[in-house]
């Protein structure tokens, strides 16, 4: 659906005072997808607490249902998945629509590669323009067949072979989605499937597969990468899963607090997996007051409570090698950089161009429209902050991208003039309730009609 249609939900953020209070960010999107999918491949019940009930994950649950697993929600919010066993999914009676979710689509392609039937996947306009060859190429080597649009784009049909081949694959880019698609396919292959990643990417698939009883071996390489090997055709057993609060969603609340003087916001139960922690390291280096309290472990994942206080931020150089640990956080980091004193240089951003939107372009254009001085290249961005909030006063095209939408609503909380976004609906893919949660802390976000 085009964002210019009348059904869009334009929102505007107005300057607010100190943000204060406790805010529970929603469940981790990456872990939620994996809990539902791996639960669907396990025997018995997987009870999931804290599942992200955003549209992306609901699409994954609907897909698993179409493929014969059971996934339902109790009144208290616990989700129960009853799986069909590894390789036990059944042909879907319809096209599977993954909505806006690249993670959902790519991981599911890995699972479908292990099933000897044909499935057709599609998605919204954003997902239909995103590259899929990065997963269909290795899955093709394992024996799966794909018929899709140019560049392997959705809609795409996948047919798994009767006997999938285990492979050893060197990832050409550091991507947890590609790694996970291959590992999930490898679950269905006899023997051992190995993925070598050039840099450590989020390891939720490995942790969750091990939690469900698979044998997963992980070795570090001398140059900071990892070699991940899975033994195929295990019996997975349904397990309870508690999903931590999503550090990528908490990032919007954290940066909003950091850039607003006198703020103090507590974010309980946030996932602290080191493969996701890049943003918080960079914010601390910028002078941001981010403290971690009550460090603990739940379901194999480290978590803690973040306490974030309004801070005077300074520009820093963010090198390319940290990108895999904060790949989704660049839009909100760019907002922090726009409010900092001095230059923040961001390198190694090529992958931002193939996210839900071209995020490098969206941030560069949106920040410039809000009066921020910056320069952008193919895979880099330099943002020159003055130490004062930017002017604002622009309406940003969010292009079906939840993180662009939330980033500019956070920025609008400190700019001189309000910042509007053309459509707030994509926020529901990852952070339902974002506007109410922000307003509960003291933000002033509302419908945009008549404001700008």
From residue 111, alpha-carbon distances to 59, 108, 136, 197 in Å are: 15, 5, 12, 20
Which C-beta is closer to ligand S3P: that of 191 or that of 274? Answer: 274
Find out whether 363 and 381 touch, Cβ atoms under 8 Å: yes
- Kindly report the number of other CB atoms within 10 A of residue 221's CB atom: 13
DSSP E strand stretches across 347-430: 373-376, 381-386, 395-396, 419-421
Find out whether 202 and 327 touch, Cβ atoms under 8 Å: no
For residue 327, the minimal CB distance to ligand S3P (Å) is 5
Which C-beta is closer to ligand S3P: that of 90 or that of 218? Answer: 218
For residue 201, the minimal CB distance to ligand S3P (Å) is 6
Which C-beta is closer to ligand S3P: that of 348 or that of 390? Answer: 348
Give the DSSP letter string of 425-441. GGGGGT-TTHHHHHHHH
Which C-beta is closer to ligand S3P: that of 115 or that of 276? Answer: 276
For residue 34, the minimal CB distance to ligand S3P (Å) is 7
Question: Which tokens in the block code for residue 239?
Answer: 């397990």
Measured CA to CA, the distance from residue 420 to residue 445 in angstroms comes to: 9
Comparing C-alpha atoms, which of 216, 218, 160, 167 is closest to residue 191? 167
Which C-beta is closer to ligand S3P: that of 216 or that of 448? Answer: 216
Strand order through the sheet with 11-14: 395-396, 419-421, 11-14, 444-447
DSSP structure class, residue 5: S
For residue 183, the minimal CB distance to ligand S3P (Å) is 11
Measured CA to CA, the distance from residue 342 to residue 314 in angstroms comes to: 6
Residue in 97, 203, 328, 399 annotated catalytic: 328
For residue 247, the minimal CB distance to ligand S3P (Å) is 12
For residue 146, the minimal CB distance to ligand S3P (Å) is 18
For residue 219, the minimal CB distance to ligand S3P (Å) is 20
Which C-beta is closer to ligand S3P: that of 193 or that of 325? Answer: 325
Question: Which tokens in the block code for residue 18?
Answer: 């100190």
Measured CA to CA, the distance from residue 128 to residue 358 in angstroms comes to: 14
Strand order through the sheet with 192-197: 168-170, 192-197, 226-231, 216-220
**Which residue ranges make up the site for ligand S3P (CB under 6 A)?**
30, 103, 175-177, 180, 202, 327-328, 351
Which C-beta is closer to ligand S3P: that of 20 or that of 353? Answer: 353
Judge whether 76 counts as a catalytic residue: no
DSSP E strand stretches across 9-130: 11-14, 20-22, 45-49, 70-73, 79-82, 96-97, 118-122
Query: Catalytic residue numbers?
Result: 328
């Amino acid at each position: 659906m085009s964002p210019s249609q009348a059904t869009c939900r334009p929102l505007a953020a107005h300057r607010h005072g100190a943000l204060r209070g406790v805010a529970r960010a929603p469940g981790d999107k990456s872990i939620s997808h994996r809990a539902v999918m791996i639960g669907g491949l396990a025997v018995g019940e997987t009870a999931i607490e804290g599942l992200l009930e955003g549209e992306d994950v609901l699409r994954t649950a609907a897909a698993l249902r179409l493929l014969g697993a059971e996934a339902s929600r109790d009144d208290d919010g616990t989700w129960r998945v009853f799986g069909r066993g590894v390789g036990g999914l059944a042909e879907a009676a319809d096209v599977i629509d993954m909505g806006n979710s690249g993670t959902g689509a790519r991981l599911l392609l890995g699972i479908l590669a292990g099933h000897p039937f044909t499935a057709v996947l599609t998605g919204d306009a954003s997902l239909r323009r995103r590259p899929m060859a990065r997963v269909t190429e290795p899955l093709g080597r394992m024996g799966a067949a794909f018929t899709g649009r140019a560049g392997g784009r959705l809609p795409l049909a996948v047919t798994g072979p009767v006997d999938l081949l285990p492979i050893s694959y060197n990832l050409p880019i550091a991507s947890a989605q590609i790694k996970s698609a291959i590992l999930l396919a490898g679950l269905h292959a006899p023997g051992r499937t190995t993925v070598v990643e050039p840099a450590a990417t989020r390891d939720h698939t490995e942790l969750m597969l091990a939690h469900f009883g698979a044998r997963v071996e992980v070795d570090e390489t001398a140059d900071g990468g990892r070699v991940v090997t899975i033994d195929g055709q295990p019996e997975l057993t349904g397990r309870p899963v508690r999903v931590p609060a999503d550090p990528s969603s908490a990032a919007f609340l954290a940066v909003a607090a950091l850039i607003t003087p006198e703020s103090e916001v507590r974010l309980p139960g946030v996932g602290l997996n080191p493969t996701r922690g890049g943003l918080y390291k960079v914010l601390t280096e910028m002078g941001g007051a981010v403290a971690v309290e009550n460090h603990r472990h739940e379901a194999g994942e480290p978590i803690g409570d973040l306490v974030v206080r309004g801070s005077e931020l300074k520009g820093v150089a963010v090198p390319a090698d940290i990108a895999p640990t904060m790949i989704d956080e660049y839009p909100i980091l760019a907002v922090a950089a726009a409010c900092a004193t001095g230059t923040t240089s961001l390198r190694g951003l090529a992958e931002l161009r193939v996210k839900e939107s071209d995020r490098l372009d969206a941030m560069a254009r949106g920040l410039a429209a809000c009066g921020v001085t910056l320069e952008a290249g193919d895979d880099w961005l330099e943002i020159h902050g003055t130490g004062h909030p930017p002017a604002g006063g622009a309406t940003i095209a969010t292009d079906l991208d939840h993180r662009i939408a939330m980033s500019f609503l956070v920025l609008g909380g400190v700019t001189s003039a309000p910042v509007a976004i053309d459509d707030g609906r994509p926020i529901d893919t990852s952070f339902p309730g974002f506007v109410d949660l922000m307003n509960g802390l003291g933000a002033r976000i509302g419908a945009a009609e008549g404001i700008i």
